[in-house]
Structure formats: C-alpha cells, structure tokens
Amino acid sequence: MSTSEPGLFELPEKYRQLQDEARELAVSIRDVAERADESSSTDPDVRDRLAASGLPALAVPARWGGRFEQVDSLAMTVVREQLAAESAHLDSMFAMQGIGSYGLAIAGSDAVRDHWLPRVASLDAIAALGLTEPHVGSDLKALTTTAEVDGNEIVLNGHKSFITNGGDADFYSVLAREDDGYSLVCVPADVAGVTTHRPHQIIAPHVLSDVVLENVRVPIDHRIGEPGKGFALVLATLATFRVSVAGASIGMAESALRLALAHATDREQFGGPLARLGSVPEHLASCWTDIEAARSLTYRAAAASARDARGNLHLSSMAKVAATETCGRVVDRCVQIMGRFGITRGTAIERLYREARPMRIYEGSTEVIFDSLAKQLIKNGL
C-alpha cells in the first residue's frame, strides 16, 4: 500500500533515514511484540533491541549524545509512527525517554544532566515523568505532592499515580507544589523513601505504577529550573512531544488497515472477495482517506513544532486530536470488516483495538485539548 512510501510526504532525507531505521527495528521485534505488548513491565528483549538501534539518542540533545542539536518533534513523530505499527510497548519505551527527560534537558543543572542524559540516550537509564495523582488528572494545579527546601536539600512528600515507566524507571521528573508555585524535581528511583506499586491494569497493558514519596531527600541542584516554574517545563514537554502521539496513532491505524485489507481480499463470501461486498469497499476507502488526512496534519504540525514547539502547540494539539480520533474510528471499522476474526482474543487486530483506545486520553484527552483550543480561538481569533 502506497501510504508507507518513505518519500510520500517529501520529508527531508534525514527523516526518511529515520523512518527506515525505525521500520527495520519494528519488524525485527515481531517475534516478541505480542508478549511485550501484554506485559506490565519492561520487556528486556525489546529494551536491548531498541538500545542497539541507537534511536533513543533522538530523545536528548547532541550535547549529551543525541543525534540532533535539539530534540526534534518531527524526528520523534516519524519514528513513533513506525514503532507503534508493530508494538505499543516498543513505542512507549522510545517515547518516554524523551518525555521523562525533556525538562531536565532544557533546564536541569549541569551536574544532573551530565549524569542522566547520556544514560537516557543509550537506554542505560529509563526516564519517567511524575505528574498525575490518585485524585488529580488533567487539573494538575490541584496536585498535593510537596517540595520543601531544607538546607541544601529538597524534601518531597506525595503520591503519584498512573506513572508510565513507574517501577522500572531509574529517575522521575516529579511535579510538586513548592511555596506558591509548582516545581519540577529530578528524583532518582533508588533514593530512600521512594516506593512503587502497581494497583492498576488498563485495557492495553502498559508499564504503569504508583510512585509514593515519603520524606524523599535530594540535593537542591536536583530541582529542574527555577523554583515555582515547573509548569512552564511541563508545557514545553507537551509542546515538543504531544504531536508524536499523533504519529503513533497513525502507525496503529495503518497497521489495522493492512490487516483488514488482507482479510477482505483473501476471504471469499457469497461467491466473491469480501473486499467487493456491500459496504466493505467504502469502509476500506474511508479508512485510507482518514489516515492520509491525519498524516498530512500530523507531519505539518510536527515540522512546525520542530521549528518552534511552544509557538505551534495549537497545531500539535489539533494533530493529536485528529490522529487519535482517526485511529479509534479506523481500528473500529477494521474490526467490523474482520467480523469474528476481529474480536478474537490474542489476535493482532484485537490487540490494536485495545491499544488504540487509550491514545485519545494520553498526553491530554480530546475534551481537555478542545477546551484549550477553543479558549485560544476565542481570545485570539483565527
């Protein structure tokens, strides 16, 4: 199918090369993808193969072993598109290296950055971002985790919940209330007072854990950026990586369409191929059209974000919504085309059906993003 031709969107050569690298990696883990995608902890084979690919280096700037001068939204997006087509576990492991470390990369102290970021680039260390809490999701200003200065240390207390890479991470970038503001703090996982437990299991298994901080002490240089300015770092992270969620969603949608197309062309019903029967041709064509439309917006938004992430957050947000909603529709149609084969547990399409659904919630739910976009539109106009 022509949708996966590397030059279809006239990407610069360096991005086409990344697509090829990511596709090669994704295909190489097919033998373990099913096992990894059903695991709630880091799969060692996937981690080793991802590390060997060199792709995690895209998650950090060149100063600490990255492949580009700065983290590049378009690079992250085109890679996630290829990885997510084969394995949600692989895609998440790759993406979280950047999401968990980005605040540190742009505002951390030199000593802390020099210690962690080269390890992030090589996947010798797993990164995580600690934002949400048991009773705090999108409304992060309601968080209760605290950070207090005590001499040359920062003391943290709180309970983070639904943290991706929780339990397996080597460090957490934790958002906490400090005085009248909110600060981001780098917390090594092996510091006294950090405990994790996994009370949750979502419909698409994911490396998730609660992270409890009890009188956790870290040196004061582990605060990332200025006191009380943590929200700006969280926003910068979203601005850079939100569009990559769209890339992953397109990869999932296209993978589902490939499965449905193969089924519809091979299966005979009523004397002919299913692909020619009733509404099936329309379903196939509408899926293809929706994927191409979402990809066009996603690549445009990712390229704009690579130039100015904060200035183009609205485009990244639109692309995230468009692609994740498209993914949900496309996968659902593909399940319908495949009938009983689409709802059989343990099949690739059934796994995609479960994996596609959370994408509309990750990195900001559709409703929260629409609310933010509407406020911007009302305030500034078109």
Q: What is the pLDDT of residues 135-147, one digit of tens each?
A: 998 889 999 999 9
Of 280 and 329, the structure prediction assigns the larger pLDDT to: 329
Beta carbons of 201 and 179 less than 8 angstroms apart: no
Q: What is the pLDDT of residue 268?
A: 67
Nearest to 164 by CA among 245, 95, 76: 95
Question: Given a cut of 90, is residue 204 above it in pLDDT?
Answer: no
Question: Given a cut of 90, is residue 72 above it in pLDDT?
Answer: yes
Domain extents for the chain? 2-126, 128-227, 231-380
Q: Tell me, what amino acid is at 195? A: T
Nearest to 351 by CA among 43, 26, 162, 88: 88
Q: What is the pLDDT of residue 2?
A: 39
Question: Given a cut of 70, is residue 271 above it in pLDDT?
Answer: no
Q: What is the pLDDT of residue 1?
A: 39
CA–CA separation, 165 and 126 (whole Å): 8
Q: What is the pLDDT of residue 4?
A: 44
The pLDDT tens digits of the residues spanning 170-192 come to 999 999 999 999 999 999 999 99
Q: What is the pLDDT of residue 274?
A: 72
In which band, very low, low, confident or very high, does the pLDDT at 127 lie, cut at 50, 70 and 90? very high
Q: What is the pLDDT of residue 8?
A: 46
**Residue 215 φ/ψ, nearest 5 degrees:** 50, 45
Average pLDDT over every residue of 95-119: 98
Q: What is the pLDDT of residue 44?
A: 97
Question: Given a cut of 80, is residue 60 above it in pLDDT?
Answer: yes
Average pLDDT over every residue of 23-48: 95
β-strand pairing of 268-269 with 127-130: unpaired
pTM here is 0.93
Q: List b or e across 107-139, with b for residues whose CB sees 16 or more CB atoms inside 10 angstroms.
A: bbbeebbebbbbbbbbbebbbbbbbbbeebeee
Average pLDDT over every residue of 221-236: 96
CATH code of the domain occupying 231-380:
1.20.140.10
CA–CA separation, 282 and 152 (whole Å): 65
Collapsing DSSP states into helix, strand and coil, what is residue 365?
A: coil
| Mean confidence (pLDDT) of the chain | 93
Question: Given a cut of 80, is residue 6 above it in pLDDT?
Answer: no
Q: What is the pLDDT of residue 3?
A: 42
- State in words which class domain 2-126 has: mainly alpha
- Percent pLDDT > 90 in the chain is 86
Q: 128-227 domain in CATH 3.90.226.10?
A: no
Hey, CA dihedral for 89, 95, 101, 103, is it positive or negative? negative
Question: Given a cut of 90, is residue 109 above it in pLDDT?
Answer: yes
Question: Given a cut of 90, is residue 200 above it in pLDDT?
Answer: no
Query: Across 61-152, where does the E strand assignment appear?
Result: 127-130, 146-150
In which band, very low, low, confident or very high, does the pLDDT at 266 lie, cut at 50, 70 and 90? confident
Q: Which two tokens stand for residue 147?
A: 């950070």
Other Cβ atoms less than 10 A from the Cβ of 364: the count is 21
Question: Given a cut of 50, is residue 7 above it in pLDDT?
Answer: no
